[in-house]
Copies of this chain bind each other. A is one copy, B any other.
Amino acid sequence: MEPLKIGIVGLGTVGGGVVKLLEKNKNLICQRAGRDILITAVCAHSKDKDRGFDVNVYEWFDNPLDLVKHENVDVVLELVGGADGIAYDLIKEAISQKKPIITANKALLATHGYEIAEIADKANVPVFYEAAVAGGIPIVKTIREGLAGNGIKEIYGILNGTSNYILSEMTKTKRAFDDVLKDAQEKGYAEADPTFDIDGTDAAHKLAILSTIVFRTKPNLHNIYTKGISEIKAKDIDFAKTLGYEIKLIAKAFSSGDTLGQSVTPCLIPQSHPLSSINDVLNAVLFEGDFVKYSLSVGYGAGEGPTASAVVADVIDSALGIYRPVFGVNTAELKDAKRVAESENMCRFYMRLPVLDKPGVIAEVASILKDEDVSIESMLQHGHDPGQSVSVVMTTHETAAANIYNAIEKISTLRFMTSEPCLIQIEDLTS
């Protein structure tokens, strides 16, 4: 059989990892692909950068669109990233050239996934994207193929390694967020601009893709309630522990009738739950299917090795000529999902109120909660220091999110508040 000729656009961490993996495990990979796999063309910003391998053995392109069109390229690896710009252009060009695409670009799929899928499905061109979600966990294959027959009500997990590392480190060392973030950047676990990782955007991109496959709905980032971890303090992690919880950034999607609830938000989860022990830069995805029941997958979500592993799995699939619609079903079957209104979202909450330690404080807070129909489950005051600032921690019974937001707004204006209150959802995850 003819060798498969691949062109790689983007030779950063991911692209570089793919070149190294294709070299190191060439024999194994070609056996599984049933044919030889050749990198024939590459394209990146700078040809001269030291990447730990020799780019001169491949044909170099300055313009990615030229690479896509080149006759010596059967399959295009888009490893540039970014929701728009060159990644978007070259994927569309590859589809029009009927060349299979392999991408790690979650931002693009979460943003333009429907449009891309529509033209790719129409042209019968496969778009592979295992590397876009939790690279080290073959989760796209698992839900789009391995458990494809199952009706799934809920899927949730830890989808961002950087924020999971930061929360784990804060838990382990009791250091402050900023301090641990700096440390993570030095170790290469967080990027120079870590915004998307710590504000929940990266996890939301991934969740949008998983939701689309699982629930057969159009990807829609705007329907995901997204909150990051930068307001979490070491003391919140400590209080959570006292209450029997760990704090994790949880991405979650659940369907109920024709509505789809999707959120990425820090949560208190029970210490007994398997996700509570997923630490450092590990990712994990968990769901219940109507036939398979419980399913949990754990692995590294990012980094050169795991991401390259996912890209190369897709290279093998494309070498075997495997074709499936982008999101597992034809785009015509993807429905618009109604967002579950935030106000209807029922859950329990953790509140930390920094207040002056003086009589009457609890009474005022309790009165506001009563007015907003929020019922207190437990309360603890940390320390006793009359006239000084102390932390009052409360957990609520299940309540409409809108009510607690109203309450916390009123509470934050009370004159005895010494700084901003902290509000975190409690997720008593079902399995």
Query: Contact residues of A with B, CB < 8 Å?
Result: 17, 21-22, 24-25, 28-29, 31-32, 34, 130, 135-138, 141-142, 144-151, 216, 274, 277, 282, 289-300, 305-306, 308-310, 312-313, 315-317, 320, 322-325, 328-330, 333
Contacts and interface: CB of A to CB of B under 8 A. Distances in A.
Contacts of A322: 322
B320 A291 contact: no
A212 to B, nearest CB: 13
Contacts of A312: 148-149, 291
A300 B290 contact: no
A139 to B, nearest CB: 9
Given A142-B146, A147-B138, A297-B297, A305 B292 contact: yes
Given A28-B151, A289-B309, A291-B308, 17 more contacts: A25-B149, A25-B151, A25-B290, A31-B216, A32-B144, A141-B141, A141-B145, A145-B316, A282-B294, A291-B305, A291-B309, A291-B312, A292-B300, A293-B300, A294-B300, A295-B299, A298-B298
A28 B144 CA distance: 11
B298 A149 contact: no
B299 A330 contact: no
A29 B310 CA distance: 25
Contact of A31 (B289, B305, B315, B333): B333
Contacts of A305: 290-293
Given A146-B130, A150-B25, A306 B290 contact: no
19 contacts: A17-B291, A21-B291, A25-B151, A25-B290, A28-B151, A32-B149, A130-B146, A138-B142, A141-B146, A146-B310, A147-B309, A282-B294, A291-B308, A291-B312, A292-B309, A295-B298, A296-B296, A297-B298, A320-B324
A306 B293 contact: yes
A333 B309 CA distance: 22
A146 B136 CA distance: 9
Q: Which of A31, A145, A299, A325 has the most C-beta atoms of chain B within 10 angstroms of its own C-beta?
A: A145
A51 B277 CA distance: 42
> Interface majority SS on A: helix, strand, loop or mixed?
mixed
A429 B323 CA distance: 38
A333 B137 CA distance: 27
A145 B31 contact: no
A426 B17 CA distance: 37
B145 A138 contact: yes
Contact of A313 (B147, B294, B297, B317): B147
A136 to B, nearest CB: 5
Given A141-B142, A142-B142, A29 B291 contact: no
A32 B330 CA distance: 8
Contacts of A306: 291-293
Nearest to A304: B291
B145 A309 contact: no
B296 A298 contact: yes
A24 B329 contact: no
Nearest to A324: B320
Given A305-B291, A324-B320, A328-B32, A313 B149 contact: yes
A262 to B, nearest CB: 20
Nearest to A152: B28
9 nearest A-B pairs in the assembled complex, by CB-CB distance: A138-B146, A149-B312, A291-B305, A296-B298, A31-B329, A292-B309, A291-B309, A141-B146, A295-B299
Contacts of A324: 320
A290 B150 contact: no
Contact of A149 (B274, B277, B316, B333): B316
Contacts of A290: 24-25, 305
Nearest to A307: B291
Given A141-B145, A148-B32, A294 B289 contact: no
